[in-house]
């Protein structure tokens, strides 16, 4: 187990990067094996009441054409993904109040008839709603803390409360969800020390999944002039997460591939064991612009799935046929 001081040293010093990535790859192989879990991502609404400084979906961005899927269409996309062989669906959206507790519960019950695992990534919700979603059959929930630096969090999330996000994560764990968190790397004013705190926070809380991605500057946000996060630093944070949390699920994030054309494959070889291909159509992929230059926005579900499967097999890995729950060791 690394101390905070050691983590900081590793993050600051680039001389041993290759050893770090190789070691994370060995830990991944020994503890979660060569299987890569595919999660079919449905970005079902880009309407959001929040104003996170970094995010293109922020309520104040008037340049985004907004959309929301009807519940039946969400289920249709899920069916299509199940037919393509996906064993997990991830439903992601902005914080869109149209989808009430009852509407989400109905969508969950329909999708759970398909014999697949279901992950929600729909932002902060009160305890009773999270409980209702769990009772309706949701298996997992993704809620990145984004940064554990409370002052930085406050400066980037007007009207939001760090404590509430923490509380939400605690509630998810209490309710028995497989709980995912994670952070952005390279936010303006984010320090290496705070990234070390992020990694230790993930470990202390024993999250089941950790998603780490570089910050990518969006032209229609207050951070339009900020530089992008660094690919290698993001990869290092991810590799350290794997070394400290041997049996969890770690996605090779799409944001990594936006900064490096081989980003997801490199991530899969540096500790990651999950990929989340988009299973909606091109029209909506473009509009769900949390950051610019998202990959594969002109592709459709079957093309994307075939392409990522080939990439996975080309590096000697296998596409998992099971639900991909965390297997605790």
- Positions in the binding site for ligand SAH (CB under 6 A): 54-55, 92, 94-95, 121, 123, 143-144, 146, 184, 213, 215-216, 218, 255, 290-291
Cβ nearer to ligand SAH, comparing 15 with 97 = 97
Helices (H), the chain: 4-12, 17-32, 71-83, 101-112, 127-136, 150-156, 162-174, 192-205, 231-244, 254-259, 263-268, 282-287, 301-314
Residue 160 CA to residue 157 CA, distance in Å, equals 5
Residue 134 CA to residue 164 CA, distance in Å, equals 19
Cβ nearer to ligand SAH, comparing 61 with 305 = 61
Residue 86 CA to residue 80 CA, distance in Å, equals 9
Helices (H), 142-230: 150-156, 162-174, 192-205
What tokens appear for 4 in the block?
């905070």
Instruction: Find the shortest distance in angstroms from Cβ 47 to ligand SAH.
Output: 10
Cβ nearer to ligand SAH, comparing 121 with 249 = 121
Residue 95 CA to residue 121 CA, distance in Å, equals 10
Instruction: Find the shortest distance in angstroms from Cβ 215 to ligand SAH.
Output: 5
Cβ nearer to ligand SAH, comparing 177 with 215 = 215
Cβ nearer to ligand SAH, comparing 11 with 55 = 55
């Amino acid at each position: 187990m690394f101390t905070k001081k050691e983590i900081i040293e590793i993050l600051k010093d680039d001389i041993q990067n290759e050893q770090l990535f190789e070691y994370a790859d060995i830990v991944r192989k020994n503890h979660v094996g060569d299987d890569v879990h595919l999660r079919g991502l449905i970005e079902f609404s880009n309407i959001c009441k929040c104003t996170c400084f970094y995010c293109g979906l922020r309520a104040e961005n008037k340049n985004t054409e907004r959309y929301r899927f009807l519940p039946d269409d969400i289920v249709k996309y899920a069916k299509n993904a199940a037919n393509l062989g996906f064993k997990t669906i991830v439903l992601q959206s902005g914080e869109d109040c149209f989808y009430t507790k009852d509407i989400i519960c109905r969508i969950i019950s329909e999708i759970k008839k398909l014999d697949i695992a279901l992950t929600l990534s729909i932002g902060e919700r009160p305890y009773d709603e999270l409980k209702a979603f769990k009772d309706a059959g949701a298996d997992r929930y993704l809620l990145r803390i984004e940064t554990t630096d409370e002052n930085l969090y406050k400066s980037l999330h007007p009207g939001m409360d760090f404590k509430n996000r923490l509380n939400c994560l605690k509630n998810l764990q209490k309710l028995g969800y497989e709980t995912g968190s994670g952070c952005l790397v390279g936010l303006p004013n984010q320090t290496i020390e705070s990234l070390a705190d992020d990694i230790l926070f993930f470990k202390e809380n024993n999250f089941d999944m950790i998603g780490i991605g570089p910050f990518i500057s969006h032209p229609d946000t207050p951070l339009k002039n900020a530089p992008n996060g660094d690919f290698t630093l993001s990869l290092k944070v991810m590799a350290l997460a794997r070394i400290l949390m041997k049996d969890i699920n770690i996605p090779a994030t799409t944001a990594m591939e936006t900064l490096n054309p081989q980003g997801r494959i490199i991530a899969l070889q540096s500790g990651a064991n999950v990929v989340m291909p988009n299973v909606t159509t091109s029209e909506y992929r473009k509009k769900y612009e949390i950051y610019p230059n998202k990959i594969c926005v002109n592709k459709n579900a079957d093309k994307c799935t075939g392409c990522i499967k080939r990439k996975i097999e080309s590096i000697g890995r296998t596409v998992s046929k099971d639900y991909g729950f965390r297997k605790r060791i």
